[in-house]
Chains A and B, each alone.
Chain A
Amino acid sequence: MHTEATPAQADVPELELVKRCQNGDTGAFDELVTRYRTRVFGMIYNMVHSEQDAWDLAQDSFLKAWKSIGRFRGQSSFYTWIYRIVTNVTIDWLRKKQVKGSGTEFDDAVQLKEIDPASRTVPKADSLPHQRMERQEIRARIDAAIQQLSPEHRAVILMKETEDMQYHEIAEALGCSIGTVMSRLFYARKKLQNLLRDLYENV
């Protein structure tokens, strides 16, 4: 059994990799993870606003994907399929967190992690402190606005606006109808327009 993605696998079509995974090839799965980990992590991060939680949820999502890869029939793209797992895992987590009422969702640690030298999110060395602060303030405003949306509305607007997913892909990923996606998109946009208008009009 392979444990590492081989360079050759970088050129293998997605469906072929999935078939290999279904035969227990962890190397093929490793390649799929490499292809999607950044997008998956980014998507989760935008929903939960904590790097540590996003990391853990992304791990959890990929682990679930590995366990259930045998049930993937290839009727949709692997990307849509993994997004369904990701959104289920993340929405469940957000709901549980809401029930527990563990306080504000925004993790201040993110602010510190964003200046971690090992992270790609590090501002460029020539970025001035006030620019950095401004960027952080904008991000905090967006995060706070997104936090006011329900997990389902968050998922819809993020998939549409940051992932460029089509209505039917979002519907498939969320397990709902296209009409529901469009309706959620309507309300999520309205809400964010009201909350962020001054920002995007001026930035």
Chain B
Amino acid sequence: MKTFEEKWTAWIDGELTGAELAEFEASLPDKGAAEAEKRDALKLGTFLKEQLACHAMGNEEFFSHQLREQIAKESAVPASRGTEGGRAWWPIGRLAWVGATALAIFSVCAVFVMRENPATDQSQYLSQILNARVDPVVSPNATITMFESKEDRATVLWVDGLQSLPSEYASK
């Protein structure tokens, strides 16, 4: 189903025929005004054709010459890019091998490092704190509990039975 704009354009350009033409013309409320509008549109077309046609380019041969040079340049670039590209980019098979080898080396290193540093219940950092701060002579019954509060994302060190609190532990 054509819109009014489409039918109007087709009518101006003489593209409406037969029943479609008769139907469209019958639908026009003021045929005289529409005919005047059509003449006006055709006059515009003729005017544009006269005024805009043939804005020829100067130096046409130079245009072609410049284009030939660009094409030659463009043709040379992809060829050299192709060669470099072949060197720079490895085939997928080789990339897969390199990836697998890297993964294997990483796994071996990870296992080695984990064996060197066995997991303990207590972190080294915590041991250092305990050794430094809990003197068995001063606080023989001191007990220390450590737990992790996941919600607060914090590790809590609960020290009980201290005879005295070291001065540098005083809250600041």
Contact = CB atoms under 8 A, between A and B. Distances in A.
A37 B64 contact: yes
A185 to B, nearest CB: 5
B48 A193 contact: no
A108 interface: no
B117 to A, nearest CB: 58
Interface string A169-202: 0000000000100110111010011001101110
Contacts of B72: 3, 26
B69 to A, nearest CB: 10
B66 interface: yes
Contact of A158 (B3, B52, B63, B74): B52
Contacts of A201: 43
A162 B52 contact: yes
A63 B6 contact: no
Contacts of B48: 142, 157-158, 161-162, 192
Contacts of B44: 161, 189, 192-193, 196-197, 200
Interface of A: 3-4, 26, 29-30, 33-34, 37-38, 41-42, 45-46, 51, 54-55, 58-59, 62-63, 66-67, 116, 118-121, 138-139, 142, 157-158, 160-162, 167, 179, 182-183, 185-187, 189, 192-193, 196-197, 199-201, 203
Minimum-distance CB pairs A-B, first 3: A119-B58, A200-B47, A186-B5
